[in-house]
Amino acid sequence: MHERLDLLSPEVRANPYPYYAELRRSAPVCQVDPGGMWAVSRHDDVAFVLRNAELFSSQGVRASLSAPWLEHNPIADSMVGMDPPLHTRNRALVARAFSTRVVPRMEALMRRVAREFVDALTPGRELDFCAELAIAMPSAVIATLLGLDPSLRSRFRHWADDVVVIRSASTPERIESIKTTVSDLDRYLREVLAARRVAPQDDVVTDLLAAEPGGAALTESEIVSFLHLLLIAGLETTTHLLSNGLRLLMERPALEERLRRDLSLVPAFVEEVLRFEAPTPAAGRVTLHEVTLGGVTLPRGAPIAALMGSATRDETRYPDPDVFDIDRPRQLLLAFGNGPHACLGAPVVRAEGRIAFEAILSLPGRFERVDRPLDWIASMLVRGPRELWVRYVT
Ligand code: HEM
């Protein structure tokens, strides 16, 4: 590959996988656009980058969420952009609140949202699956996790959309919209914290406020940054898992039949969707020292894009990587990252995927695509279509 690849060009966004394959084959560590980042495409190199925070700093994530015109973006200050030892301390305190208790607290809510979706279906109806389930379910979960008023849920998509395009925002209108989003969100979240201080509840926000017996606790700014992070980390990513999952299912009637006959296979289906269309295709890092990777020596300060979306299609790890196969043996899945920053929400996502697809596969009818082109979101941080129009047929 001689020309510099633009990861955000329309062709690459529509189907990045042949381009990733070419990178893995002929230029496993090379500069790409936007911005001349060094794309790392082979599975083991991606894992190496993600695991070695002392060589590859998460300041790269911070940079991807900052812009000169945005005075302060709390997400950029959140743990996803921190390095050890600050990250280690923040993660330990957050993980305590965000542990095994989250999924059981949320399952009934996920089922209720799936039921509302199913109940609104009528034969022949056309609908945007993203809006009606793929956004609705994670929005309900995140609103509850953040303690936000459910009436604000309709704004979540807009907020999350704004935050993932900070680096590519170019029009004055979009920049204004992003600034308003960040300040609105900050205000709402600080109100939630103030309310929980006065009246604690059985929820994650209250747990985050609780001090450790030894006196360690998160500061108000750390909590607000973490809550901002949850909105972006937990919303769009899950939306794309669900919408990519339905699209892949509609294209595979035999698989759909098999899953309908045996719902215990749904978790394996969800796992394969995560591999096949990694909802978070890249993670940003910056080299802290000169380092040689994939035969290329990178200087200190080099911006890196660790391509999880390519790693999960690496032929050395997954035979026939472009075949969608739910019977693949389970193994380490880089779609959730790896190492110190590995996704804290993975159990939540797996539960959402399972509950959503169990509901879809238990319907008397099925979905078929409505013939409209897909508009892939222009972001390195998430991969999925803006809308997915389908018809429910019985
Ligand atoms: C399909 C859905 C999801 C995918 C593919 C995904 C993927 C990822 C990845 C790749 C990272 C690592 C980023 C890096 O190393 O720079 C990450 C971090 C994180 N994710 Fe997720 N995520 C998903 C959903 C969620 C949900 C639902 C939540 C919370 C409710 C969540 C919370 C987090 C948090 C807090 C981090 C930061 C961890 C840290 O910095 O230590 N994610 N996620």
Instruction: Look at residue 2 in the predicted model and tell me its pLDDT.
Output: 59
Among the listed residues 306, 314, 244, the one whose alpha carbon sits nearest the alpha carbon of residue 279: 244
Instruction: Look at residue 272 in the predicted model and tell me its pLDDT.
Output: 98
- pLDDT per residue, tens digit, the chain (394 aa), is 557 999 989 899 889 999 999 999 999 999 999 889 999 999 999 999 999 999 999 987 787 778 888 887 888 889 999 999 999 988 988 887 777 778 888 999 999 999 999 999 999 999 999 999 999 999 999 888 888 887 787 788 788 777 767 777 778 888 888 889 888 888 989 999 999 999 998 888 888 888 665 667 888 888 888 888 888 888 889 999 999 999 999 999 999 999 999 999 999 999 999 999 999 999 999 999 999 999 999 999 999 999 999 999 999 999 999 999 999 999 899 999 999 999 999 999 999 999 999 999 999 999 999 989 888 877 777 888 989 999 999 9
Cα separation, 91 vs 341, whole angstroms: 8
Instruction: Please give the C-alpha separations between residue 257 and each of 250, 254, 361, 363, 391, in angstroms, as whole numbers.
Output: 11, 5, 9, 12, 18
The answer to whether residues 335 and 274 touch, using CB atoms and an 8 Å cutoff, is: yes
Cα separation, 140 vs 305, whole angstroms: 31
Cα separation, 389 vs 375, whole angstroms: 11
Residue type, 21: A
CA-nearest residue, atom 32 of ligand 1: 345
80 C-alpha vs ligand 1 centroid, how far in Å? 8
The answer to whether residues 270 and 357 touch, using CB atoms and an 8 Å cutoff, is: yes
List Cβ neighbours of 364 (8 Å cut-off, separation of 6 or more).
Answer: 394
CA dihedral (46, 247, 233, 348) positive or negative: negative
H helix count then E strand count, the chain:
17, 10
Tell me if the bond preceding 123 is cis, omega within 30° of 0. no
237 C-alpha vs ligand 1 centroid, how far in Å? 8
337 C-alpha vs ligand 1 centroid, how far in Å? 8
Structural tokens at position 19: 């381009």
CA-nearest residue, atom 18 of ligand 1: 343
Instruction: Look at residue 215 in the predicted model and tell me its pLDDT.
Output: 66
152 C-alpha vs ligand 1 centroid, how far in Å? 22
Q: Using a 6 Å CB cutoff, which residues line ligand 1?
A: 50, 58, 61, 79-80, 91, 145, 229-230, 233-234, 237-238, 241, 279-280, 283, 308, 335-337, 341, 343-345, 348-349
Instruction: Look at residue 340 in the predicted model and tell me its pLDDT.
Output: 96
List Cβ neighbours of 108 (8 Å cut-off, separation of 6 or more).
Answer: none
Cα separation, 138 vs 136, whole angstroms: 6
The answer to whether residues 193 and 224 touch, using CB atoms and an 8 Å cutoff, is: yes
Instruction: Please give the C-alpha separations between residue 263 and each of 31, 275, 295, 391, in angstroms, as whole numbers.
Output: 44, 20, 45, 23
Q: What is the DSSP string of 45-64?
A: HHHHHHH-TTTEETHHHHHH
Instruction: Look at residue 93 in the predicted model and tell me its pLDDT.
Output: 82
CA-nearest residue, atom 41 of ligand 1: 341
Q: What is the DSSP string of 180-246?
A: HHHHHHHHHHHHHHHHHHHS--SSHHHHHHSPPTTS----HHHHHHHHHHHHHHHTHHHHHHHHHHH
Q: What angle do CA 85, 86, 89 make, to 5 degrees?
A: 85
Residue 322 burial class via C-beta count within 10 angstroms: exposed 0-12, middle 13-18, buried 19 and up: exposed
Among the listed residues 191, 223, 196, the one whose alpha carbon sits nearest the alpha carbon of residue 93: 223
Could you tell me the domains of the chain?
10-393 (1.10.630.10)
343 C-alpha vs ligand 1 centroid, how far in Å? 4
Q: What angle do CA 168, 313, 277 make, to 5 degrees?
A: 55
- The string of pLDDT tens digits covering residues 66-99 is 888 888 788 888 999 999 999 998 898 888 777 7
Q: What is the DSSP string of 92-143?
A: HHHHHHTSTTHHHHHHHHHHHHHHHHHHT--TT-EEEHIIIIITHHHHHHHH
Report which ligand 1 atom has the smallest distance to the Cα of 334: 10
Instruction: Please give the C-alpha separations between residue 323 and each of 182, 276, 351, in angstroms, as whole numbers.
Output: 40, 8, 24
Q: How many residues does the chain have?
A: 394
Report which ligand 1 atom has the smallest distance to the Cα of 340: 41
Instruction: Look at residue 214 in the predicted model and tell me its pLDDT.
Output: 65
